[in-house]
Amino acid sequence: MLRPKRKSILMAWIAGLLAALGMTSRAANAQTDHAKLWQAYCAHFVSSEGRVIDPQGADRTTSEGQSYALFFSLVNNDRARFDKVFEWTQSNLASGDISLHLPAWTWGRARDGNWGILDPNSASDSDLWIAYDLVEAGRLWKDPRYYSLGRKLAALIAHREVANLPGFGPALLPGPVGFKFPKSWVLNPSYTPVFLLDRLAKIDPAGPFADVAAEVPVLMERSARNGFAMDWVSYTPGLGFTPSLSDNHTGPQATGSYDAIRVYLWAGMLNEASPAKARLIHALPGMNIYLQTHAAPPEKISNQGVPLGQDGPVGFSAALLPYLQSIPNQSALAQQMVRFKSQLNEKSNLYGTGYGTGPAYYDQNLALFATGWMDRSFQFGSSGELLVRWTRE
């Protein structure tokens, strides 16, 4: 633990570094890094119809991408884009009515060359985000239609994607189909941001969301390996949690990687008043310890909780910024900030060298969360409510 004087000196140094890197609050009329990134993201990944395109995924669209685009449209007070993204989502993923149908998780070009839904199963994390986006859009933009649709989608999630696990309690299944097995269930720890659950619990006190939120710290404490989050875990009553694949297979292929990196991001962005935050951070010390002696986060963690050699992409550094800011390891925060900012392409305003198709779509999503939260374009309140800069300007 740092002594108070040394800590204050270090914090002042970090504050100066963050200011120099453009990651602190700015004047109301100045365009933030987050706003620039959002504009670049829309130009590169969002079609005029409101479809979010993943170039590294054969130009497919996922409900996750749509849910994040809705969120950042709201954060940036981009009502026209929000409307387009939602209408495309409802029309193409939810059979025209999201109050009655959970959105399909993936849409793209099928083997026969036709474009449409590739898998009708839904992804519960995206469903949570979309319900939250609609509820908060209804509140912030004073639109009762969006608020009502968000509540109805939340009711669908509660009915179809929440299960009571014997010996554990209520949990959010990754989707309505394919995650319940004869003697076990499969969960994805990154699918349960507590602030989303807290907000939906507020608007639906009779629903399961408060109980699901209460179990999230327990899930992380019991499923992490050596303080590292896993992508997927299998739960068996009496035996507990084991790292697995989404199909319930266990073994060396089970890792903590591109899904799990969001666990640290969601924990770091939680409001300090949330009783879950300290427990989540305490359950996930592995990444903090690793970054005390390494310049970049690992791309993969083994099923035994051992970091593997390859460095993670720039989006991983972005995702860890709120987490590291919540821990008194300010040197790691500064190091990851420098790594993240050093990979900004000033011509495109996107991050990372990317692939043959350009900067990685997933990196930009993680960067949008990090830049927006760090420069206070958005925060989450103590009950999960969305706090946005544009309401204060």
Query: Out of 64, 78, 299, 385, which one is annotated catalytic?
Result: 64
292 neighbors 285 (Cβ within 8 angstroms): no
> What is the distance between the alpha carbons of residues 175 and 103, in angstroms, rounded to a whole number?
11
> What is the distance between the alpha carbons of residues 10 and 337, in angstroms, rounded to a whole number?
15
Q: At residue 164, what is the residue type?
A: N
Q: Which two tokens stand for residue 393?
A: 């300007």
Q: Is 64 a catalytic residue?
A: yes
| Secondary structure (3-state) at 387 | strand
Entry field: residues in the chain:
393
Buried/exposed code over 274-296 (b: 16+ C-beta within 10 A; e: otherwise): bebbebbbebbebbbebbeeeeb
> What is the distance between the alpha carbons of residues 62 and 283, in angstroms, rounded to a whole number?
30
> What is the distance between the alpha carbons of residues 106 and 129, in angstroms, rounded to a whole number?
16
96 conformational bin, left if phi > 0, alpha if psi -120 to 50, beta if neither: left
> What is the distance between the alpha carbons of residues 152 and 161, in angstroms, rounded to a whole number?
14
Q: Is 125 a catalytic residue?
A: yes
215 CB-near residues (< 8 Å, 6+ apart): 168, 169, 170, 171
Q: Treating both helix axes as pointing N-terminal to C-terminal, what angle do 209-223 and 275-283 enclose, rounded to 10 degrees?
A: 20
Query: Out of 125, 204, 375, 385, which one is annotated catalytic?
Result: 125
Q: 66-69 — which CB contacts under 8 Å span 24+ positions?
A: 66/93, 66/103, 66/126, 66/130, 67/125, 67/126, 67/127, 67/129, 67/130, 67/133, 68/129, 68/365, 68/368
Give catalytic residue positions: 64, 125
